[in-house]
Amino acid sequence: MPIINRIADFHDDMTAWRRDFHEHPEIGFAEHRTSALVADRLRAFGVDEVVTGFAKTGVVGVLHGRARGDAIGLRADMAALPIQEETGLPYATKTPATMHACGHDGHTTMLLGAARYLAETRNFAGTVYVIFQPAEENGGGGQVMVDEGLFEKFPMRMVFGMHNWPILPEGVFAWRHGPVMAACSAFDITVIGKGGHAAQPHTAVDPIVVAAHIVTGLQTIVARNIEPAETGVVTIGSIQGGHAHNVIPESVRMTGTTRWFSPAVGDLLEAGVRRVATGIAESFGARAEIDYRRTYIATVNDPDATDLAAAAARTVAGEARVVPMLKPTMGAEDFSFMLAAKQGSYIMLGGGRGPGDAMVHHPKYDFNDAILPVGASYWATLAEQLLPAS
Ligand SMILES: [Zn+2]
Ligand SMILES: [Zn+2]
């Protein structure tokens, strides 16, 4: 059975919803319009109970099947990114410097499509919770939902997540047992020197030269401190210091991230960033202030739940279009907090490379509407297979 016919029937509706979300993106924990629309649509579909204001802007829809039974959760994320869109599309963002550049507009729409079908057909026994999570991009909304009692208020056997992936061909699913996305940190380093005249460097402590050495030094942590067979990343994502060509500034600020899977590597990366930044700054007579925050834990799939997810994907896409994901990605995802608390799995759905070959988080990226019924059919099939009506 390929895409569910009834879901294919409302492909046009889903495309319109998706483009409307795209035009009105909202940053994490501020998804007010998005979450109100989600709740309104769920009510209009006849979803049995719609809980709003969960983890600020989160929404949970409760769908009961035609008989009693088990319960599962299906999760989509709703947040946009602080990126200036450059797609030039007719439905491009109307909000400056805010963009659905990760396809969460599509994720929200696919789960809405599944909810509409499930509410209409009820071809399952038990309960399906459709979870619309806020603030995946940096806000850790997944953790807030767990902390606010997601699994106590909505008891479920398993929970599932999905992300579109442009580098996978359109409509191809990729599954993976165990780690699928990395743990991550965000850190700020402020190098404090002594400002002065650019022509009198001996009277100053130049924080720009110190920062340059720190950037280079940080790259030795992965190369020289982490066991080569292990995986880790240290990236400096921004550096700001000074305003004029003839002034040595007082300080330089850098921001960055580290990524890892093994807890031991996570500890080494944090210790390394602190040691290298502090030590280099001191050796130049400057000082480094470091604010290092571990943000997301690694996303680790349960093998049994993953096999069930892959089986549902095969039903929708066919054997040949469901493939193992050979390597995890060093991206990070706060569905990790749900998977740490509950058995479940996170699957990738290919979107194809699209115009401009833009990956997620690129200003020219756009979600591929062709996969809306594929993703919605996957959710619906997963619910029907895990909670069989007879
Ligand atoms: Zn993202
Ligand atoms: Zn994303």
What pLDDT does residue 357 have?
87
Q: What angle do CA 86, 11, 18 make, to 5 degrees?
A: 30
Question: Does the pLDDT value for residue 1 go beyond 60?
Answer: no
pLDDT in tens, 31-51: 999 999 999 999 999 999 999
User: How far, in Å, is the centroid of ligand 2 from the Cα of 348?
Assistant: 11
| Ligand number with the minimum distance to the CA of 164 | 2
What pLDDT does residue 139 have?
86
User: How far, in Å, is the centroid of ligand 2 from the Cα of 103?
Assistant: 6
User: How far, in Å, is the centroid of ligand 2 from the Cα of 248?
Assistant: 40
User: How far, in Å, is the centroid of ligand 2 from the Cα of 252?
Assistant: 31
pLDDT in tens, 294-322: 999 999 999 999 999 999 999 999 999 99
pLDDT in tens, 244-284: 999 999 999 999 999 999 999 999 999 999 999 999 999 99
The count of other CB atoms within 10 Å of the CB of residue 9 is: 11
Taking a C-beta distance cutoff of 8 angstroms, is the pair 206, 192 a contact? no
Phi-psi region of 41 (alpha: psi -120 to 50; beta: other; left: phi over 0): alpha
Predicted TM-score (pTM) above 0.75: yes
What pLDDT does residue 2 have?
66
User: How far, in Å, is the centroid of ligand 1 from the Cα of 200?
Assistant: 45
User: How far, in Å, is the centroid of ligand 2 from the Cα of 105?
Assistant: 10
The count of other CB atoms within 10 Å of the CB of residue 207 is: 28
| Ligand number with the minimum distance to the CA of 138 | 1
User: How far, in Å, is the centroid of ligand 1 from the Cα of 348?
Assistant: 13
pLDDT in tens, 144-195: 999 999 999 999 999 999 999 999 999 999 999 999 999 999 999 999 999 9
Contacting residues for 93 by C-beta, under 8 A, at least 6 apart: 22, 23, 24, 25, 80, 85, 99, 100
pLDDT in tens, 86-142: 999 999 999 999 999 999 999 999 999 999 999 999 999 999 999 999 999 978 999
H or E segment and range at residue 295: strand 287-296
User: How far, in Å, is the centroid of ligand 2 from the Cα of 196?
Assistant: 44
| Ligand number with the minimum distance to the CA of 104 | 2
Question: Does the pLDDT value for residue 197 go beyond 50?
Answer: yes
The count of other CB atoms within 10 Å of the CB of residue 342 is: 20
User: Which one, of 251, 337, 338, 236, lies nearest residue 286 by Cα?
Assistant: 251
What pLDDT does residue 390 have?
77
User: How far, in Å, is the centroid of ligand 2 from the Cα of 29?
Assistant: 15
Distance CA 323, CA 111 (A): 22
